[in-house]
């Protein structure tokens, strides 16, 4: 097969075919890989799932479980918060009916299996608990210790952390062998993949149960090692680092998003940050700074927007201005970026091309992916590509960052 320019837009048909075949092989390998231990004979099927944390992510996970036929206990710190979570799920189901994506009798059936509460006694029948609370080590440690005290001995405890150390979270809970990570991608009730994170103490039986639960929820489970950010967010950090650096150099959010969407991403990175919330992303960066050096310019635009209360979609202003779901360019963003660049002594680069923008942002994905593989944090290159295509909107017609790396090296690469 001839050498191709993997950066070209549009993607040549031969590369698109290669990408389809690569992703199909990757899915088969992930589904049937030897890294997954078998379920022990006689393991009962988990029927009752508790979700602790009735925010956006917790409600999405609960909605998945209801669709899969499970009984769901949705818990939060107050009855009112739990009730608001249940109401959010009901509204989503009603919307699905209105769009003819769900039968008219389905919401009542699913909501009949949902119980919202602030009482830990609701955990007494839980086979599995997924915590989806604030992304903070101490908060999650305290919760896991509480869950150990409240749940039956057989209950599997899963943390929906996006970056935190599973071993550290499990260290004080009393059953570290029955703790694993299960990182759902946003939106949890839609995205078809989860990262299952293997802690040092996680037993084979617990890992097998986590995999079986993911499959029952309609998700493709991919096994990830216990390193900061696992697979998806570890690569994402390098991508977003360049997005912030480009803005400090005077490249607008609209240009960055347009260039990467033209390359094939489902959504540009600045719109993605606004959906996630710059406040939440800044909290992750604050936690990351305790483990890794972050110079003053590191991710400065994201952090500055959070400081200014420009949290994104939820606040009506982030990289863009929002009215409902409509995003409009914010002319004031250039001033914010210019002020930060001046304070940091960063010169503008007005002549940078769209191709250079794409290469600046995508190359770190490839480089970090290679490190993840070298460290054994992913089982195979195809797993990284599945995470990024199915979970982060990487263009499927390009096969994923690792597929691009292999294709660029010719037919005998990898």
User: How does DSSP assign 171-190, residue by residue?
Assistant: TTSS-GGGEEEEEEPSSTTT
Residues 28 and 275: their CA atoms lie apart, in Å, by 31
Report the percentage of the chain scoring pLDDT > 90.
93
235 vs 44, higher pLDDT: 235
Helices (H), 253-293: 253-263, 269-276, 278-288
Q: Measuring CA to CA, which residue among 293, 287, 288 is closest to residue 136?
A: 287
Q: Dmax of the chain from CA atoms?
A: 65
pLDDT value at residue 325: 78
29 vs 2, higher pLDDT: 29
Mean pLDDT of 46-51: 96
Mean pLDDT of 357-382: 98
Beta strand 179-184 pairing with 193-197: antiparallel
Report the percentage of the chain scoring pLDDT > 70.
98
Q: Is the pTM of this model over 0.75?
A: yes
Mean pLDDT of 152-163: 97
pLDDT at 350 over 90: no
Residues 406 and 411: their CA atoms lie apart, in Å, by 8
Tokens for 369, please give them: 């992916």
Banded pLDDT at 25 (limits 50, 70, 90): very high
Mean pLDDT of 257-283: 96
Banded pLDDT at 378 (limits 50, 70, 90): very high
pLDDT value at residue 412: 41
pLDDT at 1 over 60: no
Q: Which parts of 25-110 are beta strand (E)? A: 48-52, 71-75
For 319-342, how does the pLDDT look when each residue is reduced to its tens digit (9 = 90+)? 999 998 799 999 999 999 999 999
Q: Cα dihedral angle (174, 41, 217, 193), rounded to 10 degrees?
A: 80
User: How does DSSP assign 146-164, residue by residue?
Assistant: HHHHHS-TT-EEEE--SSS
Listed in sequence order, the residues at least 6 apart from 93 whose beta carbon sits closer than 8 Å to its beta carbon are 63, 102, 106, 107, 110, 111
Residues 92 and 19: their CA atoms lie apart, in Å, by 34
C-alpha pair distances (Å), 47 with each of 2, 369, 370, 398:
52, 36, 39, 39
For the chain, the average pLDDT equals: 95
pLDDT at 17 over 70: yes
pLDDT at 413 over 70: no
Tokens for 352, please give them: 């940078």
Listed in sequence order, the residues at least 6 apart from 273 whose beta carbon sits closer than 8 Å to its beta carbon are 240, 243, 281, 302, 312, 318, 319
Report how far Cα 5 is from the mean position of its chain's Cα atoms.
Answer: 29
For 62-86, how does the pLDDT look when each residue is reduced to its tens digit (9 = 90+)? 999 999 999 999 999 999 999 999 9
Q: Identify the three-state secondary structure at position 128.
A: strand
pLDDT at 414 over 70: no
pLDDT at 411 over 60: no
Banded pLDDT at 318 (limits 50, 70, 90): very high
pLDDT value at residue 2: 45
Report how far Cα 84 is from the mean position of its chain's Cα atoms.
Answer: 23
For 160-192, how does the pLDDT look when each residue is reduced to its tens digit (9 = 90+)? 999 999 999 999 899 999 999 999 998 999 999
The DSSP call for residue 77 is: S
Q: Is residue 51 within 8 Å of residue 72, measured between CB atoms?
A: yes
pLDDT at 3 over 80: no
pLDDT value at residue 4: 63
Q: Is residue 350 within 8 Å of residue 249, measured between CB atoms?
A: no
Residues 180 and 197: their CA atoms lie apart, in Å, by 6
């Amino acid at each position: 097969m001839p050498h191709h320019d993997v950066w070209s837009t549009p993607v040549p048909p031969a590369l698109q075919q290669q990408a389809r075949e690569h992703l199909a092989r990757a899915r088969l390998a992930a589904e049937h890989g030897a890294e997954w231990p078998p379920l022990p004979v006689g393991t009962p099927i988990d029927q009752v799932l508790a979700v602790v944390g009735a925010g956006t992510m917790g409600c999405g996970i609960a909605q998945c479980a209801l669709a899969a036929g499970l009984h769901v206990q949705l818990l939060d710190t107050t009855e009112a918060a739990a009730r608001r979570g249940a109401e959010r799920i009901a509204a989503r189901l009603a919307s699905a009916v209105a769009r003819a994506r769900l039968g008219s009798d389905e919401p009542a059936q699913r909501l009949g299996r949902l119980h919202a509460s602030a009482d830990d006694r609701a955990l007494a029948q839980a086979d599995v608990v997924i915590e989806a609370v604030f992304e903070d080590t101490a908060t999650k440690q305290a919760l896991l210790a509480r869950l150990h005290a409240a749940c039956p001995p057989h209950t599997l405890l899963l943390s929906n952390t996006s970056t935190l150390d599973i071993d550290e979270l499990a260290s004080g809970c009393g059953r570290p062998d029955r703790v694993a990570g299960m990182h759902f991608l946003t939106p949890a009730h839609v995205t078809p993949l989860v990262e299952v994170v293997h802690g040092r103490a996680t037993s084979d039986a617990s890992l097998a149960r986590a995999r079986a639960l993911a499959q029952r929820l309609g998700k493709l489970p991919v096994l990830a090692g216990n390193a900061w950010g696992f697979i998806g967010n570890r690569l994402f950090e390098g991508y977003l680092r360049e997005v912030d650096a480009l803005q400090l150099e005077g490249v607008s959010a609209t240009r960055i998003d347009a260039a990467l969407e033209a390359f094939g991403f489902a959504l540009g990175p600045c719109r993605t940050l606004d959906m996630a919330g710059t406040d939440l992303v800044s909290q992750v960066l604050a936690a990351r700074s305790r483990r890794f050096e972050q110079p003053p310019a590191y991710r400065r635009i994201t952090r500055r927007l959070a400081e200014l209360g420009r949290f994104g979609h939820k606040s009506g202003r982030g990289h863009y201005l929002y009215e409902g779901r409509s995003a409009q360019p914010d002319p004031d963003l250039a001033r914010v970026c210019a002020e930060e660049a001046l304070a940091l002594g960063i010169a503008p680069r007005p002549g940078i091309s769209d191709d250079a923008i794409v290469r600046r942002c995508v190359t770190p994905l490839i480089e970090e992916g290679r490190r993840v593989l070298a460290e054994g944090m992913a089982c195979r290159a195809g797993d990284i590509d599945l995470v990024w295509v199915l979970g982060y909107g990487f263009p499927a017609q390009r096969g994923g960052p690792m597929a691009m790396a292999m294709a660029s090296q010719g037919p005998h690469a990898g």
